[in-house]
Amino acid sequence: MAFEARNIQKIFHQESGDVRVLEDVSVALQAGESLSIVGQSGVGKSTLLHCLGLLDTIDKGEIFFSDELVSRGGESSTQDARALVRRRSIGFVFQFHYLMSELTAMENVMLPLLMSDHSQEEAESRAKEILSSVGLSHRLQHRPSKLSGGEQQRVAIARALVHRPKLILADEPTGNLDPKTAENVFNVLKDQSLRLKAILIMATHHMDLAKNFDKQATLVGGRLQ
Amino acid sequence: MVVRDKTKDIAILKSMGATDSSILKIFFMQGVFVGLVGTVVGIGLGVVMSILLRDYVRFPLDRSVYMIDTLPVDLRISDVILVGAGAVIISCLATLYPALLASRVIPTEGLKVDG
């Protein structure tokens, strides 16, 4: 599986004028490869990940999964098509865990599978398996409020990976954690993406973590260098 | 209110691949469920109150003003069905717009919402 983004352009149309956030950004990665993106706050790292993950529309350019064009303008008719690609092939990990507070760790992790019409039994079994693999087999029935910051983020990683995505997009997933927990969470994310042979793209402020990726890039002035 | 409180959850569900139509369905079904529960509870309480007023309590009225001694109660099954159906239809209609708003949450905007 290859992932390729060609000449991505993203413009925010504001009253004060257009802001070109991404300009001619291209990314090409093979299955199992990883890319770190560093850059100053507000430079557009999150926007780039949102665009690559089809969460946001692009103004120009194309995004391909295994040579299949998956990005098309902003027409509402294709919103569901993009949602289906996200459901099938993409996993997001954000800076904040964004777990659903009313659900247990296991129920949170089961969500992507239940949305993909997996049976309750299979969803439970796979959620247990991946939560165990991120070291949380003893926390299955705990709600997010009863988990530590590192545990919450590991549940979020399990949720992002449980449907075995081909592309994992992590937006500063360690940004809210202390250095030791950050390293632990990063290792979990890296190990799990390698296990799945998934492409991992991570935006981060941590230069030390960024060096552990197959490829590194810096976002400056809307362009990847 | 539910839609406003759940904006972030909607954004997360969309990031996991929930379609606009599935979000619409979730919120519509929730609204209809709340409407149905309210209607059933309301009808139950109304019927019980009507029977109590008709057969046991007999609410007194001033005959010199109303020309009758007690509040007349006539419990008709057709009225119960009509009011119940009306309440369900109104709750369905009242659910449609917020459900539509929920389905239109832009994930990247929803993720920025505090709370």
| One pLDDT digit (tens) per residue for chain A, 225 residues | 799 999 999 999 888 889 999 999 999 999 999 999 999 888 999 999 999 999 999 999 999 988 888 886 555 457 788 899 999 999 999 989 999 999 999 999 999 999 988 999 999 999 999 999 888 999 999 999 999 999 999 999 999 999 999 999 999 998 888 888 888 888 888 988 999 999 999 999 888 889 989 999 999 989 998
B15:A56 CB<8 A: no
Question: Cα dihedral sign for A216, A181, B113, A156?
Answer: positive
pLDDT over 90, % of chain B: 74
Would you state the pLDDT for residue A30? 95
A112 has a chain B CB within 8 A of its CB: yes
The SS3 assignment for B60 reads strand
Let me know: does A151 contact A144? Beta carbons within 8 Å: no
Question: A77: which chain B residues are within 8 Å (Cβ-Cβ)?
Answer: none
Which residues face A216 on adjacent strands? A36
Residue A86 touches chain B, beta carbons under 8 Å: yes
Q: How many CB atoms lie within 10 A of CB B108?
A: 17
CA distances from A60 to A106, A224, B8 (A): 39, 16, 28
Q: Which residue of A has its CA nearest to B20?
A: A80
Picking from A23, A46, A125, A149, the residue whose alpha carbon sits closest to that of residue A92 is A46
| CA distance, residue B38 to nearest chain A CA (Å) | 23
Cα(B43)–Cα(B82) distance, integer angstroms: 11
User: B15 and chain A: CB distance < 8 Å anywhere?
Assistant: yes
Considering only CB atoms, A115 lies closest to which of B9, B17, B108, namely B17
Nearest to A195 by CA among A134, A137, A125, A140: A134
Q: What is the pTM of this model?
A: 0.85
> For the segment B33-51, what is each residue's pLDDT rounded down to a tens digit?
999 999 999 999 999 999 9
Residues whose CB is less than 8 angstroms from the CB of residue B41 and which lie 6 or more positions away in sequence, other chains included:
none
**Count of CB atoms within 10 A of residue A119's CB?**
10
Give B36-44's long-range contacts (Cβ < 8 A, gap of 24+): B36/B88, B36/B91, B38/B87, B38/B91, B39/B84, B39/B87, B39/B88, B39/B91, B42/B87, B43/B80, B43/B83, B43/B84
CB contact under 8 A, A83 and B19: yes
Q: SS3 sequence, chain A?
A: CEEEEEEEEEEEEECCEEEEEEEEEEEEEECCCEEEEECCCCCCHHHHHHHHCCCCCCCEEEEEECCEECCCCCCHHHHHHHHHHHHHHEEEECCCCCCCCCCCHHHHHHHHHHHCCCCHHHHHHHHHHHHHHCCCHHHCCCCHHHCCHHHHHHHHHHHHHCCCCCEEEEECCCCCCCHHHHHHHHHHHHHHHHHCCCEEEEECCCHHHHCCCCEEEEEECCEEC
Measured in degrees and rounded to the nearest 5, phi and psi for residue A4 equal -140, 130
A111 and B111 in contact by Cβ < 8 A? no
Classify B115 as helix, strand or coil. Answer: coil
Which of B16, B22, B108 minimises the CB distance to A50?
B108
CA distance B44 to B83: 12
B57-90 pLDDT tens trace: 888 899 999 999 889 999 999 999 999 999 999 9
Q: Which of B5, B7, B12, B24 to mutate to test the interface with A (most CBs of A within 10 A)?
A: B12
The alpha carbon of residue B42 is apart from the nearest alpha carbon of chain A, in Å, by: 28
Chain A environment of B19 (Cβ under 8 Å): 79-80, 83-84
Mutate which: B103, B106, B111, B114, vs A, most A CBs within 10 A: B111
Residues 41-70 of B with CB under 8 A from A: none
- Selecting from B9, B12, B18 the residue whose C-beta is nearest the C-beta of A83 gives B18
Q: Rounded distance, CA A174 to CA A6, Å?
A: 28
Q: Is residue B92's pLDDT more than 70? A: yes
Torsions phi, psi of B10, nearest 5? -65, -45
Cα nearest neighbour of B10 on chain A = A100
Query: Could you give the ipTM of this predicted complex?
Result: 0.87
